[in-house]
Chain A
Amino acid sequence: MIKISNLEKIYRTEEVETVALNKLSFEVKEGEFVAVMGPSGCGKSTLLNILGLLDDPDAGSFLFNGIEVAGFNERKRADLRKHNIGFVFQSFNLIDELTVFENVELPLIYTGVKPAERKKIVEEVLDKMVIMHRRNHYPQQLSGGQQQRVAVARAVVNNPKLILADEPTGNLDSSNGNEVMQLLTDLNEQGTTIVMVTHSEHDARYSHRIIRMLDGQTVMQNIMV
């Protein structure tokens, strides 16, 4: 599903040049659950942003389902993103002014799904995430675990092929964290490919494969049994 080759990303300021990704190459197959680990500043988040088409690489190739997307313009990237990729963030990133229902509904609006169908889909997903009873609440009225469940619901509402999770349990206690990891595992078992950036060895154990990074490069890959 994902094939990156010699991917480079360099951040430049007037005085300093920081190499975030240094000729990085790896592949993620459809249905895989991959965890990316490494110390702070090793390039994990940069990688996730590029995989999520939120950022451009400076060099290298990025094939998504066999299509080279590294040179896509913003409109094409937005289009590809909304139909294929779901995001789960450490800080949930829910829109404070929207209710739980409306937050989850948002990706469907962008993909042009009709209101009646949207309602049905959102209710199904909220049911599945056991958050239906909070559908009219605003994010600030929910606990961290509940907020992350909403974020996961929003990430999957469009049935994306790929879910990118950036430290999804980073702001949660262990019980809520486990719950979220179980949700991701379930989604993966249903066929969704997942790439997760994490600091937690515990969370990484939920994945099929761990890619370990250092200074913008892959240093080791562990296949989980």
Chain B
Amino acid sequence: MLFNYFKIAFRNLRQNRIFSLVNIAGLTIGMAATLLIFLWVYHERSWNKHNEHYQDVYHVYANRDFNGQITSGPDMMFPLPAAAAASFPEVEEAVIVDFGGTPLFTVGDKMIRRQTLTTSPEFFNVFSAQFIEGSAKVLQDPDALVVTESTAIAFFGHTRVIGETVKVNNGRSATIKAVVKDLPENSTVRFEVLQPFNQSTPEYREAQTDWVNCGNRVFFLVKPGANIASLEKKTLELIRKNASSENVTTRGSIILHPMSKWRLYEEFRDGRNTGGRIAYVKLFTWVAIIILLIACVNFMNLSTARSEKRAKEVGIRKTLGSGRKQLLLQFISESVLLAIIAFILASLVVWLVLPAFGQLLNQEINIPFNEPSIWIIILSIILLTGIIAGSYPAIYLSSFRPVKVLKGTFLPGKKALLPRKILVTAQFVISILLISATLIIYQQLQHVRNRELGYDVNNLVLVSSSGQAHRNLEAIRNDLRTTGMVESVTHTSSAVSDIFGFTSGIRWPGAPENNNLVIGFMFAGHDLAKTIGARMASGQDFRINDTNHVIFNQEAIKVMGIQDPVGREIEWAGRRRIISGVIENMVVNSPYTSASPAMIVYEPNWSNQINIRLNQGVDIRKALVQIEQVFSRHNPENPFEYRFMDEVFQEKFTNEKLIGQLALIFSALAIFVCCLGLFGLLAFSIERRSKEISIRKVLGASLQQLLLPMSAEFLVLIGLAFLIAIPAAWWAMKEWLNNFEYRVNISAGVFVLVGLIILLIAFITISLNASRAALSNPVKSLRSE
């Protein structure tokens, strides 16, 4: 029986080529989009799962009160893990890990930077790794290094490297004691080199009793079933008990953030874990479902539209004794067959575009063939698509009464006209929503990118500094100037688009008694404003030997309430400092938030970045060659590593840019599938109306007069879809924009544009079809009548 159904289905597909092509193309695109999104979602959900203790590892976060604003941060105090492991029986292991860096490793004449974490010996009790050489115990040795397989190969060309020594940051020598397999790309705590804290340094000894300053991350491995809420409270109590005085951490609270949420629920707001990437994962899961549904709707529309062709078959089958169930099964089998064909094609499409998709996401997306769940999901996609797409046509077609069909009194398609109109309208509602969302995401991105930053990111080169570069900074500065390509040079503790740290210890005359002001700060050298292209609102830029001078931004001065600030004194880090000037507010950290208070401290000895402002109109490539020559002369022990400030700034938009690109791709696909459906429907509608078109032509109708009645029906539906979709799009995007302090206003212009785009797309689709019919020879269709 099933064979018979499939046989008929195949012959139907062959005979109705336009129908088959539209349906298979639609379903293929729908499934390919669904599969791609599914693979991405699967990848996102797979993060950290390779860890043996995936369910029981927690990252310790502190909610701190900064100027009345709760900020959740992972920075914790050094003695916490050991004390927690000793005090709380539910904490099996606790480990401290720094935030990582990329120190320079020298092996012979090779100079290589590698992502490095510094940690305590318990690291491998909490995080899983596969040892190729050595064991977890080596972390007890302060001079030991654990390297990954690819790092060992990069250093020495092979992995038998136990006992080899490596120079770290052109200073101490460390010995490789263990080699582990490269950590999966989907690991949050990832390293290429792992080193223990150096227990012999005075800083280490000092940190062991410092319960106030926080500069590392702490992870707990807890016993299964432990009461996490109670552990959070106990941890806070432990910190309060040990801290010498009340501070922002003791005034706050503790959150234990489970490993299963590190990737997708990474955002905190007002002291609560509110979500994060999961929003996009959910959003695109819906987008996938919607695209597939649009393709299913196409199938439903086209199948019911061509019901007149199938009606006779239904009538005959019923006459010969087929029950309704058998007919339902037949039509569902047909749609499942179509779904299988579409799936095979979709798999091919996915296989072809997966590398490009991975590149777009900047992630390595693989098809997890060895995962049994993937096969269940694939089967579900095929069956669900087949059943959803086939259900309505099956119910509709199998309901035909043989008497009417065989007698010829059956009115083809009329009965299904309303549901079909509803489905077409729904498709366009979704398309309009997607186009609106895409346009508004792009508008928001452009709005933020074009924001007045307070500094000039163009023609600004950042070169990584080093001890040697810093010592030779004056020579570097002079040599750079003599190239004639460089306008000015300064050093900073971080790129100016990122704040270096936060401090709460500023004192100034007239400050309120309970002054809790926490502001961001960074260190810089002279010519700061000149080099970064910032404007001084009052006072002046840092000059040579401006030791003990600071510059505040306008927001800081506003919050501190200092009148005529230039020349006034403040106290910070045990020193009195003079306010040199007030700089206009600059966009630092998130470009989506409004300006926050910031202080720039003149500090000749702290340079991580050397900022080089190039002269206007210089040839960048030539300038870089010259800059590299200067650095290789004065900083030969370190590789020349540079970035352009505009690129550094663009990195802040990675997430939103990605969302914008994904939204653009998937809305384009959704609209294309919609248009395929519209194209197919029109083809049938025109086929049915060929006699009418011919008579109109014979009676002298012009091309426009022919196109208008054919287009009108669909244009009305599109208009209706527009009216439904616009308020929904406005509401949804307003909600999305509420995530950003600095955001664009949704203007009516966007929706006018969306309307024009949809009309244009629909009109092209309609015209392509209708004009073909309108231009055909009327004699042909009248004769065939």
A-B contact pairs, 7 of them (CB 8 A): A55-B403, A74-B323, A75-B323, A75-B324, A78-B322, A79-B321, A110-B322
- Cα distance, A98 to B407, chains bound together (Å): 21
Residues on A with C-beta less than 8 A from B313 are 95-97
Question: Are B319 and A110 within 8 A (Cβ)?
Answer: no
Taking a contact as CB atoms under 8 Å apart, the answer to whether B407 and A102 are in contact is no
A98 CA / B15 CA spacing, docked (Å) = 12
Q: Which residues of A contact B748 (CB under 8 A)?
A: none
* Chain A positions within 8 Å of B11 at CB level: 97-98
| A52 touching B319, Cβ below 8 Å | yes
Q: Is A182 an interface residue (CB 8 A)?
A: no
- Chain A residues with CB below 8 A from B402, complex form: 54
Among the stretches A81-89, A141-149, A173-181, the one at the interface with B is A81-89
* Contact indicator B7/A102 (Cβ below 8 Å): yes
Cα–Cα distance between A54 and B317 once the two chains are bound (Å):
12
Beta-carbon contacts under 8 Å, B1-38 to A: 1, 4, 7-8, 11-12, 15
Q: A54-B402, A54-B403, A55-B403 are in contact. Are A82 and B8 (CB under 8 A)?
A: no
Partner of B320, one of A45, A79, A82: A82
Q: Which residues of B contact A106 (CB under 8 A)?
A: 4, 317, 320
* Min C-beta distance of A109 to chain B, whole Å: 6
Q: Which 4 residue pairs of A and B lie closest in terms of their CB atoms, listed nearest first?
A: A82-B321, A110-B321, A97-B11, A78-B323
Q: Does B312 contact A (CB under 8 A)?
A: yes
Tell me which residues from 301 to 332 in chain B have a Cβ below 8 Å from any Cβ of chain A: 312-313, 315-324, 326
Does A209 touch B at the CB level, under 8 Å? no
Please name all residues of chain B whose beta carbon is closer than 8 Å to the beta carbon of A94 when the two chains form the complex: 316
Task: Using known A-B contacts A49-B403, A54-B402, A55-B403, determine if residue A98 contacts B8 with beta carbons closer than 8 Å.
Answer: yes
Cross-chain contact of A95 among B316, B323, B326, B406 (Cβ < 8 A): B316
Residues of B within 8 A of A159 (CB): none
The 8 A CB mask of A181-199 against B (1 = contact, 0 = none) is 0000000000000000000
Count of B residues near A, CB < 8 Å?
25
User: Please, what's the 1-or-0 string for A41-65, where 1 marks a CB less than 8 Å from any CB in chain B?
Assistant: 0000100010010110000000000
Cβ contacts under 8 Å, B322 to chain A: 78, 82, 110
Set A52, A74, A79, A102: member contacting B4, Cβ < 8 A: A102
Chain B residue nearest to A92 (CB atoms) is B316
Residues of B within 8 Å of A96, CB to CB, are: 313
Closest residue of chain B to A55, judged by CB? B403
Given the complex of chains A and B, what is the CA–CA distance between A45 and B408 in angstroms? 12
Across the interface, B12 reaches (CB within 8 A) one of A52, A87, A89, A97, namely A97
B407 touches A45 (CB 8 A): yes
> Do A93 and B319 have beta carbons less than 8 Å apart?
yes
| A102–B316 CA distance with the chains assembled, in angstroms | 13
Rounded to whole Å, the gap between the CB of B326 and the closest CB of chain A is 7
Residues of A within 8 A of B321 (CB): 78-79, 81-83, 107, 110-111
Question: In the bound complex, how far is the Cα of B326 from the Cα of A109, in angstroms?
Answer: 11
Across the interface, name the chain B residue whose C-beta is closest to A75: B323
Complex formed: what's the CA distance from A97 to B10 in Å? 9
Cβ contacts under 8 Å, B1 to chain A: 109
> Contact: B319 with A54, CB < 8 Å?
yes
Name the A residues within 8 Å of B323 (CB-CB): 74-75, 78-79
* A89-B406, A95-B313, A97-B313 known; A109-B319 Cβ under 8 A: no
* B8: contacting residue among A49, A75, A97, CB under 8 A: A97
- B320 proximity list for chain A (CB < 8 A): 81-82, 87, 106-107, 110, 154
Expressed in whole angstroms, the minimum distance between the Cβ of B324 and any Cβ of chain A is 6
A141, B322: Cα distance in complex, Å: 26
CB distance from B583 to the nearest CB of A (A): 79
